[in-house]
């Protein structure tokens, strides 16, 4: 196609295309470093301690990708062979993480129809839970993405989901790659958004700065 000089292209992409600001680059280059294997990287330690507090979790672990963080959560929560985890049918973990849950963790990801607001029907979830321990997989985990496809999952629904999962003895993980967008957009502190969840991942590679 020949470029049309009258057409002005406006690039509205953001998210992973954002770049660190000058201040962020300076902080990176002057950061104190150490051996993280011996838990002696002071910057990583501060990062983990600070972020654990921000999301109200016991502890945090810095890993190099969101995919890796999600997989670690799945492997921790689905700690018996033949586990099953439930997620929306447009969830990143289902569609874009090479089915690491199946490949590496041996976990069956069972999709639930995502509503337009990013929720899924708790009746559908309930109907998919397994009861026959001899023949079926073992229901273990529910995964929620927030934000999902640019939408902030309604807090009222999360508040219904938490007791539901407790009732059925299911662990709850939030793929909060864009948790901070959800927090800023809704005005709800991240800690409150994930209240009652067993784990959360978030990314430092998205919506960075400019």
Among 44, 55, 67, 107, binds ligand PLP (CB under 6 A): 67
Q: Which two tokens stand for residue 57?
A: 């979790």
Least Å distance, CB 34 to ligand PLP, is 24
Distance CA 85, CA 98 (A): 16
Least Å distance, CB 194 to ligand PLP, is 15
With binding defined as CB under 6 A, does residue 175 bind ligand PLP? yes
Distance CA 149, CA 137 (A): 29
Site for ligand PLP in 134-163 (CB under 6 A): 145
- Check: CB of residue 176 under 8 Å from CB of residue 201: yes
Least Å distance, CB 130 to ligand PLP, is 26
Environment class of residue 113 by beta-carbon count within 10 Å: exposed (0-12), middle (13-18) or buried (19+)? exposed
Contacts of 174 (CB under 8 A, 6+ apart): 143, 144, 145, 146, 193, 194, 197, 199, 200, 201
Name which of 27, 28, 47, 50 is nearest 36 in CA terms: 47
Q: Which two tokens stand for residue 106?
A: 């041996």
Among 31, 205, 209, 210, binds ligand PLP (CB under 6 A): 205
Least Å distance, CB 72 to ligand PLP, is 12
Task: Look at the chain and count its residues.
Answer: 210
With binding defined as CB under 6 A, does residue 66 bind ligand PLP? yes
Site string for ligand PLP, 73-92 (x = CB under 6 A): -------------------x
Q: How many residues bind ligand PLP (CB under 6 A)?
A: 10
Q: Which is nearer to ligand PLP, 137 or 199 (CB)?
A: 199
Site for ligand PLP in 88-127 (CB under 6 A): 92
Site for ligand PLP in 5-64 (CB under 6 A): none
Binding site for ligand PLP (CB under 6 A): 65-67, 70, 92, 145, 175, 177, 203, 205
């Amino acid at each position: 196609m020949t470029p049309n000089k009258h057409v002005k292209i406006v690039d509205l992409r953001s998210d992973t295309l954002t770049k660190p600001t000058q201040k962020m680059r300076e902080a990176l280059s002057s950061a104190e470093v150490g051996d993280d294997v011996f838990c002696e990287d002071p910057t990583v330690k501060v990062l983990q301690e600070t972020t654990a507090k921000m999301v109200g979790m016991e502890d945090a672990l810095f890993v190099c990708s969101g995919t890796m963080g999600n997989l670690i959560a799945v492997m921790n929560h689905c700690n018996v062979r033949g586990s099953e985890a439930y997620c929306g049918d447009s969830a990143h973990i289902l569609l874009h993480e090479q089915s690491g849950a199946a490949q590496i963790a041996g976990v069956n990801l069972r999709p639930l129809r995502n509503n337009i607001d990013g929720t899924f029907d708790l009746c559908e979830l309930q109907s998919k839970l397994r009861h026959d321990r001899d023949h079926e997989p073992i229901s273990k985990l529910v995964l929620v993405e927030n934000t999902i496809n640019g939408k902030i999952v309604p807090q009222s629904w999360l508040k219904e989901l938490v007791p539901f999962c407790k009732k059925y003895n299911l662990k709850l993980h939030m793929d909060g790659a864009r948790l901070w967008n959800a927090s800023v957009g809704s005005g709800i502190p991240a800690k409150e958004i994930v209240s009652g969840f067993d784990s959360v991942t978030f990314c430092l590679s998205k919506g960075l700065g400019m």
